[in-house]
Amino acid sequence: MKLTALAGGIGAAKLLSGMVRLLPPEDITVIVNTGDDFRWMGLYICPDPDTILYTISGQVNPETGWGMREDSFQCLARLARLGADSWFRIGDRDLATHLFRTNRLQQGDSLSEVTAALCALEGVRVRILPMSDKPVPTMLHTDEGVLALQDYFVRRKCAPGVFRITHHGADDASPAPGVLEAIRNADALLICPSNPYISIGPILAVPGIEPALRAARARVIAVSPIVAGEAIKGPAAAMMRNLATEVSAAAVAGIYRDFLDVFVLDRRDRHLCDSVAAMGIEVVDLETVMVSTESKVALAQSILEILE
């Protein structure tokens, strides 16, 4: 089964680390959000693609879910002594990825070429595709003004209220090479349990991607990142309070309803099955909170069974 997933960072990485134990890695393509990308000290940082790469290659920091395991922060400490901003914590080992990427981009390689090179060098055979080779930064219109994603997420710790989200430059962007083919040729399409506004939304904002999902021959299945009215991680619930009519798994299904065939919500939200089914979407309740390797594999296994 050829699986194509749309993914953000940590929640997606967890589920995909279960998937790679069940499917041949060559059969998995991951289209990753790059709306979080930004420049840090002149370096080009791609948080979500790196989180997916580090998780699948077993190098992610297990405590944070981002960055590299057993990293040190000597460069950051020195920068702080020199008076530079240190709110975005780039570790010393992680820094090598950003130097490598920035250097290759400066030499004229595209983001998808650099991402493919990083995967090959790390022995990752899952295909990781940035949503676009062109930067499409997510902009959050908040009660503190318009903030770039990391500014809102890390520097302001998701505190400002968000009332609108835009994707700068999306109109002139196109999907990265391979993205539309991966959607068209997939046997199954998976929307990972990622934030619908700042992880999946930016991918859908790239012209051509949402129409491709609507036209796909494969079934589209999504896993809710909202459980019992709360986000498993991050600001999804807080955003929903402002941007949706209610904070619930059913509201997530509503966001994807135009192209969604199957929605997986958590057992604790089983009472919402009827309202999702009323949207014409097949609905399944499962244990979706992934707290161990076993639970990641079990959720991936259940998803594959539904799709088969």
Residues that bind ligand FO1 (CB under 6 A): 8-9, 36, 47-48, 50-51, 66-67, 88-90, 94, 150, 153-154
Which residue, judged by CB position, is nearest to ligand FO1 in the bound state? 9
CB of 90 to ligand FO1, least distance (A): 5
Specify the length of the chain in residues.
308
DSSP, collapsed to helix, strand or coil, labels residue 307 as helix
> Which of 186, 57, 121, 90 shows the shortest CA–CA distance to 113?
121
CB of 11 to ligand FO1, least distance (A): 9
CB of 203 to ligand FO1, least distance (A): 12
Cβ proximity to ligand FO1, 84 vs 278, nearer residue = 84
CB of 8 to ligand FO1, least distance (A): 5
CB of 181 to ligand FO1, least distance (A): 25
* DSSP for 103-172, written as a single string: HHHHTT--HHHHHHHHHHHTT--SEEEESBSS---EEEEEBTEEEEHHIIIIISTT-SPEEEEEETTGGG
> Which of 24, 39, 30, 42 shows the shortest CA–CA distance to 119?
30
Beta bridge partner(s), residue 189: 4, 220
Cβ proximity to ligand FO1, 148 vs 220, nearer residue = 148
Cβ proximity to ligand FO1, 8 vs 250, nearer residue = 8
Cβ proximity to ligand FO1, 88 vs 259, nearer residue = 88
Cβ proximity to ligand FO1, 105 vs 154, nearer residue = 154
